[in-house]
Amino acid sequence: MSYTVEKLVKSVGEILTEYPLSEDLKKQIDSDRKAIRDIIEGKDKRKILIIGPCSAWPEQSVINYAKNLKEISDKVSDKIKIIMRVYTQKPRTNLGWTGPVNQPDPFKLPDIEKGIIYCRKMMLEVLEIGLPIADEALFTNNDGYFTDLLSWIAIGARSSEDQEHRIYASMINHPVGIKNPTSGNLTIAINSLIAAQNSHVFLLNGRQIKTNGNKHAHLVLRGGDSKSNIYNEDLKKSCKMIKEKSLSFPSIIVDVSHDNSIDPATEKKDYKSQPQILLRVLDHMKEDENLMNSIKGFMVESFIKSGSQNLSDSSSQIGLDLGGLSITDSCIGLEETKNLIDDLYNKL
C-alpha cells in the first residue's frame, strides 16, 4: 500500500451531533424528496429545475445566491420545483481543485475534516433559507456526512459507469440522476439506470448487505464527446431507449450546460447559451406529448455573477472575486437566471 495517514477525521456520528439537523428541517427535506419523487412518477406535473453554482464556494456568496433564488422559487412554485445545486465535490478530468469538501480554502493544504464542517454548515444555512439542495456523489465514502441534508443526488458523467457508484445509487432513498458518460454513450447510461434500479449484494464496512434498488433513478442528458444531445432526434431516441428497458418511471433531466452548451457554429462551449438551449428543449417538448411527459426538468449552472475566474491566475484569495464568480465552470449570472426562470414559467 502506497499511502500515508495524515490525520484522523471525526466520525459521521460526531459531526452530525455537532451540526445536527432540526426536526423542522427533517420534515422540510422529507417533503421536498416526496415532491421530487411525485414529479418523477408523474403524479405532480411540475417541472424540476436543478440550478446553482458549478461548485459551492465561497460560503457567503453561496448563501447570498440562495436568498435570491428562494425569492424566485416562491414566485414560480406552482409550475417549477427549484432545487439548488450545492455541489461540494468537484470531479476532474485529470488534476485540479476537488471542491470545498476536500479543500475549503483552495490556497491551503487539503483538510477534509474542516471541509466536511464547512460544507455541512453551508448546506444547513441553505436549508434554513428554505430551499431543497442537490449534490453530486463523487466520494461515496463521505456520504454519511451529508446525505441527510440532500433532496436530490447526482451520479456524474465520470462516475456513472463505475460499479461502486451504480450500487450506491441502488441503496440510497433519494431521487438520483445518473448522467450519460463523457463519451455521450447512451447505452452505457441506460445500463447504469438498470443497475441502479435493481438490487445488489456487496461488502460494506465488513458487512454483506443487499440493496433494495432505487426506482427513482433517472437519466440526465449532458452531451458528450464535444457533441450535444438536446436536439429533437436525440431527445426522442433517449425516451425510446429508456422505455424499451421497462424501467420504473422512465424519466429524463436535461443538463443544458457541459457538452449540451456547445455552439454548433463555433464547436465551443458557451455557458451563455444555457437559457436559449433550455427554451429550445421546451419547444420540442411542447410539440411532442411523449417528450413532455418523459422530460421531468432541467439542470443549469448559475451563480451571482456571469462567467468564471481561474484559480491559477491568483496566488491567494486576495486576488479573487469572492462575490459570486465561479472558480470552476462558467455560470450565468443572477439577472440571466431570473429571466430564464421567468421565461420557463411563462412557457410551461
Residue 343 has pLDDT above 90, yes or no: yes
Give a three-class secondary structure readout of the chain: CCCCCCCCCCCHHHHHHHCCCCHHHHHHHHHHHHHHHHHHHCCCCCEEEEEECCCCCCHHHHHHHHHHHHHHHHHHCCCEEEEEECCCCCCCCCCCCCCCCCCCCCCCCCCHHHHHHHHHHHHHHHHHHCCCEEEECCCHHHHHHCHHHCCEEEECCCCCCCHHHHHHHHHCCCCEEEECCCCCCHHHHHHHHHHHHCCCEEEECCEEEECCCCCCEEEEECCECCECCCCHHHHHHHHHHHHHCCCCCCCEEEECCHHHHEECCCCEECHHHHHHHHHHHHHHHHHCHHHHHHEEEEEEEECCCCEECCHHHCCCHHHCCCCCCECCCCEECHHHHHHHHHHHHHHC
Q: Where are the domains of the chain?
A: 24-145+222-241+255-347
Q: Class of the 24-145+222-241+255-347 domain?
A: alpha beta
- What's the mean pLDDT in 332-342? 98
Q: What is the pLDDT of residues 28-69, one digit of tens each?
A: 999 999 999 999 999 999 999 999 999 999 999 999 999 999
Q: pLDDT confidence of 93, banded at 50, 70, 90?
A: low
pLDDT of residue 165: 96
